[in-house]
Structure 1
């Protein structure tokens, strides 16, 4: 089985876990971990734009009676940086690879 087509997405919620390591002198460093919500919008203080647009690709195979194995790839084409952060050629786009095992009944 082969498939593909466009996708349109709108982010409603998200969170991030950020790890940092800082070297304080020659023999020591400090590690920090922060969890926070992601802010969606188009202002300088926002993390990402909520809208995304891209293409989906799918290759699938029926293994035995009813069992399916799919490989999916989604490639964003929209810049998801907030509009007020877009300078020069800086872009952020989404991409995802998925492996799915399913049963058709």
Structure 2
């Protein structure tokens, strides 16, 4: 792994040196995150999580192709669902969110289509993520009839990271997609997606969970 990281760093430095131009910029994206959960032969996702994620990027220009490494602070995770406890006239519904606050390192390779006011870009690439913190957030709604809510409460519990079967893995990796339009003055709009390939729970857990995201954002790259 260390050799792969070292080789990647050397290739990135070599690319920057040989590039025609390097610009730096920032993006702010509205992200919809969810967990794809597979267990006992069934796959589904529950409620999505919404967040605004900031990030900084380098735009390494090779003509019609640019390489964009970056650093994002992103919310990953999603709803885990929850049980219904009680009977038809008096019951509680519990929903639990897994919220993972993640540093993400994407490296996108983009193809550029020049236009008079700017350019269209489209492409994608790999990403690696590291969860710096996380929490389980529970929402309990108590009903005394199908249409009568008597109490709503929330709880928050820190996520435990490690190799224990019920713990969460800190490391994530996957593939990104990115497309957008950038004006000649550096402003842009973009849309993106993230397809997590890593199972974020340990192998002894009966469930398998992968991160998924879709996003829309704005950005600015300095000239």
TM-score by length of 2: 0.40
Once the two structures are TM-superposed, the CA of residue 30 in structure 1 deviates from its matched residue by 4.7
Indicate the structure with greater helix content: 2
d(CA) in 2 for partners of 1:104, 1:6: 21
Match of residue 39 from structure 2: none
Once the two structures are TM-superposed, the CA of residue 82 in structure 1 deviates from its matched residue by 2.0
Secondary structure, in 3 states, of the residue corresponding to 1:11?
A: strand
Give the number of equivalent residue pairs: 100
d(CA) in 1 for partners of 2:204, 2:188: 44
Kindly indicate whether residue 134 of structure 2 is the aligned counterpart of residue 14 of structure 1. yes
Report if aligned partners of 1:42, 1:84 keep a CA contact under 8 Å in 2: no
Match of residue 4 from structure 1: 124
Kindly indicate whether residue 166 of structure 2 is the aligned counterpart of residue 49 of structure 1. no
TM-score by length of 1: 0.77
Match of residue 39 from structure 1: 160
Deviation track 1:37-93 (CA, whole Å, cap 9, x = no partner) reads 1111221342x21121110100011146321111111110111112221x3xx3111
d(CA) in 1 for partners of 2:203, 2:135: 20
d(CA) in 2 for partners of 1:19, 1:28: 13
Deviation track 1:16-55 (CA, whole Å, cap 9, x = no partner) reads 32102245x6577553310121111221342x21121110
Tell me: higher relative CO, structure 1 or 2? Use CA pairs within 8 A at least 6 residues apart.
1
Report if aligned partners of 1:67, 1:102 keep a CA contact under 8 Å in 2: yes
Unaligned runs of 5+ in 1: none
Match of residue 203 from structure 2: 83
Residues 28 and 101 of structure 1, relative CA distance in 2, 3 Å threshold: closer
Indicate the structure with greater strand content: 2
Larger Rg: 2
Report if aligned partners of 1:63, 1:69 keep a CA contact under 8 Å in 2: no
